[in-house]
Amino acid sequence: MMRKIRTILFYFCFYIWTIIFFIVFSPVKFFTRSFAVKLSNLWSSSVNFLCKKLLGISVIVNGKNNIPKDRSILVASNHQSAWETFFFTFLFDDPIFILKEELRFIPIMSWYFEKLGFIFIDRKKGLNSLRHIINSIKKLKDESPKTFIIFPEGTRLKPGEKKEFLTSGVFAIKKILNLSVFPVSHNSGEYWHNKKFLKTQGTIQVNIFPELKSLDKKFFFDELKKKFYCKRSNH
């Protein structure tokens, strides 16, 4: 019963806060990009606050010092729920997500996505989508240090579920643009259950690993999968 009350209270506060926030700051098209980044960080950090206080979901981040501040990078993360999209927004500096095309059409939020420079792909278009990602990153990466975030599994997976083949785009981006790749793993799906209303109290662990430097494709993906599917201890 307490779990249900916590979840209902969270969603009530989440939707009220989100509606007010995006109505007040709806003229995002007229804001500078740097101001939009600050607003995005404010919203996402407030959602994390609600998660902690109302749902009892806290976060431990390991390896944050692995991330350089002086250049653009590519973060390759596993994907278990919607949680990582808003948490990563304020965890990483100037994040730009590579997302599926369908998310482009979320009312009001899509204006923020556009202003922030998020990259949308049609997963059915294969090579054309990869070209679009590479061209978009190429235009943005040298303006100022940015964190491009990609989910190579291509879809959300349940905790313990493994994807045999990861999308090859992450390796192509690394090789063509000479962009450093940093693997990230987490267990958000154990507490923020994908496509389920009720959430579970606990601690999400986020592991940021050192740069994956290998230019051997097979070794690169073997190492990436090891990082994604490594065993995590629960707190």
* pLDDT tens figures, 149-162: 999 988 888 888 88
This prediction has a pTM of 0.88
CA 200, 205, 209 angle in degrees (round to 5)? 155
pLDDT surpassing 60 at residue 94: yes
Q: Is the pLDDT of residue 103 over 80?
A: no
CATH assignment at residue 90: 3.40.1130.10
In a domain, residue 92? The reply is: yes
- Long-range (24+ apart) CB contacts under 8 A made by 33-42 are 33/115, 33/116, 33/117, 36/112, 36/115, 36/116, 37/94, 37/116, 39/112, 40/89, 40/90, 40/112, 40/116, 41/89, 41/90
Give the strands of the sheet with 180-186, arranged side by side: 57-62, 202-208, 180-186, 73-77, 147-150, 95-100, 119-121
Domain region containing 182: 2-228
CA distances (Å), origin 45, targets 6, 38, 40, 85, 91? 19, 10, 8, 12, 9
* Mean pLDDT on 27-52: 90
Lowest mean pLDDT among 23-37, 66-80, 118-132, 180-194: 118-132
**Count of residues making up the chain:** 235
- As to burial, measured by CB atoms within 10 angstroms (0-12 exposed, 13-18 middle, 19+ buried), residue 193 is middle
Q: Is residue 209 part of a domain?
A: yes
What pairs with residue 227 in β-bridges? none
At 144 the pLDDT is: 84
Report d(CA 61, CA 63) in Å as an integer.
7
Asked if residue 234 belongs to a domain, the reply is no
Domain count, the chain: 1
In a domain, 233, yes or no: no
Per-chain mean pLDDT for the chain:
88
Has residue 235 been placed in a domain? no
Q: Quick check: is 9 in a domain? A: yes
Name the pLDDT band for 233 (thresholds 50, 70, 90): very low
User: Contact 81/189 with Cβ under 8 angstroms?
Assistant: yes
In a domain, 19, yes or no: yes
Residue 114 resides in a domain? yes
For 72-80, what is the mean pLDDT?
94
